[in-house]
Every structure is written in C-alpha cells, then in structure tokens.
C-alpha cells in the first residue's frame, strides 16, 4: 500500500458546490471533479480517449469528461440519477440542445437497447431543477445557461445506460471507442451507502423522461445487498470483455461494519478475472467508514 496525495483534505474529497454543471445537483456520494481529474493525471492518464463509470451516480465523472473534452460512457441503475446524468452529459443550452441531439444521433444504430439518444433533454434538466430545489437551492435558467457557456459541450460518442453494471448486457450497449479507455468508479461500499432516495413523484418523473428519451431500465431491480467485492469482480469481468486494455481506477472505503475489503479483493481479482492489480494507494480518512483507498488495475 503506497501513500497518495489526493484528495489531501475534506474539501478535495467532497463535491465542489461551485463546479459548473456538476453543481446543478450533487448527491451525497458525489465526487470532487477537480480531484478526480488530478488523480487521473497523477496516474499518467492525462489524455484518455474516453472516461467510463459503471456506477455513474449523479454524473461527476461525466462533468470531468466534459472538462477533458472526451466522451463519457456511464451505467447507472437509479432512474433519477440516470436522468441527472443525461442532463449533465447532453444539455447544450437553450439554443444548442437540438444540435447536441444531432451530434450524437449516430449512437441509435450502434446501441439501440438500453443506451439512449439525447432526444428531449429538457425534461431531464427540469428534473434536475426540482432536485436542486429539494436540496434547498434555486437553480435558475440563467445559472444553467451560464454553466453551459463556461464548460465545453459533451464529446461525440457519449452515452448513458440505465442498467445494472453487474449484468453483461448493460456493457454491450456502450459504444467501443479506440484509444486509452479509463474506467473510474466508486461502487457502493455497503448497503448503507448513500442513495438518491428521491420522492416517488420524482422517480415517476424520471422514468417518464427516460422512457420518452428511448431508454428502458434493467430487466430486474439490482440487489442493493450485493457486497462491494462482488460488485467490483462482476464489473471487472464485464469491463475486460468490452474494453480490453482499459485501465480501471476504483475507490474503496471500509464496509458498513468498518472492515476493509481490499485484502480479499486483491486475491479475487488475481484468481477470478484477467485483470492485473498495478497499484494500491492509501489517501486519508474522510468519512466515518475509514480510509479512502484507490485500486488501479489493467484489464
């Protein structure tokens, strides 16, 4: 276990409330976009061809991809968070959303299942504004349009899957992109990990928006009790089939009982996948769970 310098303080661990686009809605487990980019750079991956997050959450890595100007490929099972990601990936402004849709419409022929065209992005933005209001801050049209002019638009080839990352079919709907694929993710550390837990009316609103955009959800609801290590192993197996040669950066914190899963996980990766653990870093303790660690694997 090697020490790692980022995040170096709580402010670098928590999401930045001033981050353009990401600030529209940040979940309890959202990441700090600048810190994520710094970690990727420190690991020698400053020019990835694409960023992938199989536990996309509220889309912090999608914003990181916008900042880098590279495509983002995401998987998320929570319909509310999928809708948030759609807004963060594809909204190009009140005068640009149609251009954004045309810019990505080629995905229709390549991934017609759970992946989605960015058609009708405005309902997703409307949901984000309602979620922001529930958090106690008013997200105005001016705020959104200002962020869009500040942050470059989503790169061609970006897509979002409403599905379960432990199921192979969710990965087959992600477009293959040539070049260095970087998978950066933070799987749920335990059943008590934060969830969106949106009110039922907002869940219905999200499902309607996703359905109107062409998405269908996972065939069965994901099991929230699946242990962290099982999630990681399933994701690595699926990722190495879809993106051989990718580099995976995986965050880890102790489970609900405060126990580290890393010793067992490293052994299982070696015995149950084709991935190779390249490095294991230790940062600092930022939550009640314990130490934040970063696992780096080559697929």
CA–CA–CA angle 186, 192, 197 (5° rounding): 85
Provide the pLDDT for residue 218: 81
Smallest CA-to-CA distance from 61 within 186, 179, 212 is with 186
Q: How far is CA 1 from the centre of its chain?
A: 26
CA distance 79 to 70: 24
CA distance 81 to 27: 9
Provide the pLDDT for residue 128: 96
CA–CA–CA angle 6, 247, 265 (5° rounding): 80
Provide the pLDDT for residue 273: 97
Q: Could you tell me where the DSSP H helices lie in 105-247?
A: 107-110, 122-134, 141-150, 168-172, 200-213, 228-242
Structural domains of the chain in order of their starting residue, each with its CATH number: 2-298 (3.40.50.150)
CB atoms within 10 A of CB 142: 8
State the pLDDT confidence band at 114, using cuts at 50, 70 and 90.
very low
Cis upstream peptide for 281 (omega within 30°): no
Query: Do 128 and 187 form a contact (C-beta atoms < 8 A)?
Result: no
Provide the pLDDT for residue 95: 60
Share of the chain above pLDDT 90, in %: 69
* Residue 105 neighbours by CB under 8 Å, 6+ apart: 117
pLDDT score of 18 more than 80: yes
Share of the chain above pLDDT 70, in %: 91
């Amino acid at each position: 276990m090697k020490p790692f310098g980022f995040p170096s303080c709580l402010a670098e661990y928590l999401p930045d409330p001033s981050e353009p686009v990401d600030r529209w809605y940040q979940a309890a487990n959202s990441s700090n976009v600048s810190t994520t980019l710094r970690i990727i750079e420190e690991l020698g991956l400053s020019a990835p061809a694409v960023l992938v997050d199989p536990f996309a959450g509220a889309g912090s890595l999608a914003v990181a991809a916008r900042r880098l100007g590279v495509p983002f490929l995401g998987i998320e099972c929570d319909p509310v968070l999928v809708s948030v990601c759609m807004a963060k990936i594809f909204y190009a402004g009140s005068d640009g959303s149609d251009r954004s849709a045309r810019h990505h419409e080629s995905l229709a022929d390549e991934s017609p299942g759970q992946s989605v065209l960015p058609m009708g992005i405005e309902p997703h933005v409307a949901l984000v504004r309602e979620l922001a209001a529930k958090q106690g801050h008013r997200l105005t049209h001016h705020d959104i349009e200002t962020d869009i002019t500040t942050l470059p638009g989503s790169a061609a080839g970006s897509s979002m899957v409403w599905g379960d990352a432990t199921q192979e079919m969710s990965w087959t709907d992600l477009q293959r992109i040539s070049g260095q694929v970087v998978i950066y993710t933070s799987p749920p550390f335990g059943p008590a990990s934060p969830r969106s837990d949106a009110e039922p009316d907002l869940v219905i609103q999200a499902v309607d928006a996703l359905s109107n955009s062409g998405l269908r959800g996972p065939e069965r609801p994901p099991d929230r009790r699946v242990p962290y290590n099982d999630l990681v192993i399933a994701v690595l197996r699926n990722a190495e089939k879809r993106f051989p040669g990718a580099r995976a950066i995986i965050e880890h914190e102790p489970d609900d009982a405060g126990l580290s899963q890393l010793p067992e996980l490293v052994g299982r990766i070696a015995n149950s996948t084709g991935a190779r653990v390249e490095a294991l870093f230790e940062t600092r303790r930022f939550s009640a769970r314990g130490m934040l660690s970063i696992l780096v694997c080559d697929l």
